[in-house]
Amino acid sequence: MSEVAVSIRGLKKSFGTRTILDGIDLDIYRGEIMYIIGKSGSGKSVTLKHITALLRPDEGEVRIHGKNIFEMDDKELIEVRKKMGVLFQMAALFDSLTVFENVAFLLRRFTKDDEDTITKKVRERLRLVGLSHVEHLKPADLSGGMQKRVGLARAIALNPEIVLYDEPTTGVDPILAAAVDDLILKLNHELGVTSIVISHDMESVFRVADRVAMLYDGQFRLIGTPDDFRNSQDPVIRQFVEGSAKGPIPIL
């Protein structure tokens, strides 16, 4: 097996009396596309926020390339985060900055590139996500789908080794959803990144994922290939894969 990029061990998190993550373990290998699925509120986003150290766990650890991110000081964390790109669900573009400034954010802050080089790199990143002639616009002038692409261009500006996607196909039309899937594959192949995708879009899972982990009741119910999920006899998995309202998973 290839090298482990992200390793989650015994991760526990509660908010008040609600336990969201009840000791989860997961290894994500370098270069693979890992989908974390589950119904709304099952803790997918909370898991992602732990991998990016936006939240601190009650117990457990997340190791990125072998180092526990919760034991790092500010400096080490900054170095790790430079190697990670995150696409937020609503893109979370800086609305006071233009598209160009958003994508150039990391380049301006962490490289000594001159303006010409930055301009070249920003255009190249935007082209990679299929956008051109939008550099001077503000995020508010863009459609939701375009915002997501700009968000992705911003996330990959510094050639990260790991890219995390928070529900990339939620709230976009089917054609754009397919385009986003293609983008995830393309980045994975062209830049060789490790991809972690939070999703509940099963079509996207079967189209893109190398492996899938399903969160249910604060635990991973199944970690396996898309085929494992297709062939699973577990009624919980069956219900989720088939998208049925009837089954063991409570709707509310």
Backbone φ and ψ of 238, nearest 5°: -55, -45
Query: DSSP for 87-140?
Result: E-TT----TTS-HHHHHHHHHHHH----HHHHHHHHHHHHHHTT--S-TTS-GG
The answer to whether 74 contacts another protein (rule: CB under 8 A) is yes
Q: Say whether residue 89 binds another protein (CB under 8 A).
A: yes
Closest contact distance (angstroms) between CB of 35 and another protein is 19
Which part of the chain contacts another protein (CB under 8 A), choosing from 16-24, 75-83, 142-150, 196-204? Answer: 75-83
Question: What are the backbone dihedrals phi and psi of residue 38, each rounded to the nearest 5 degrees, phi first?
Answer: 155, 160
Contact status: 105 vs another protein (CB under 8 A): yes
| Per CB under 8 A, 88 contacts another protein | yes
x/- track of binding to another protein for residues 26-55 (CB under 8 A): -----------------------x--xxx-
- Residue from 148, 154, 200, 211 binding another protein (CB under 8 A): 154
Residue 58 within binding range of another protein, rule CB under 8 A: no
Are 20 and 44 in contact, with CB atoms under 8 Å apart?
A: no
Is position 106 an interface residue for another protein (rule: CB under 8 A)?
yes
What's the CA gap between 149 and 151, in Å, rounded?
5
Interface stretch with another protein, choices 17-25, 79-87, 126-134, 175-183 (CB under 8 A): 79-87
Do residues 128 and 156 make contact, with C-beta atoms less than 8 angstroms apart?
A: yes
15 belongs to the binding site for another protein (CB under 8 A):
no
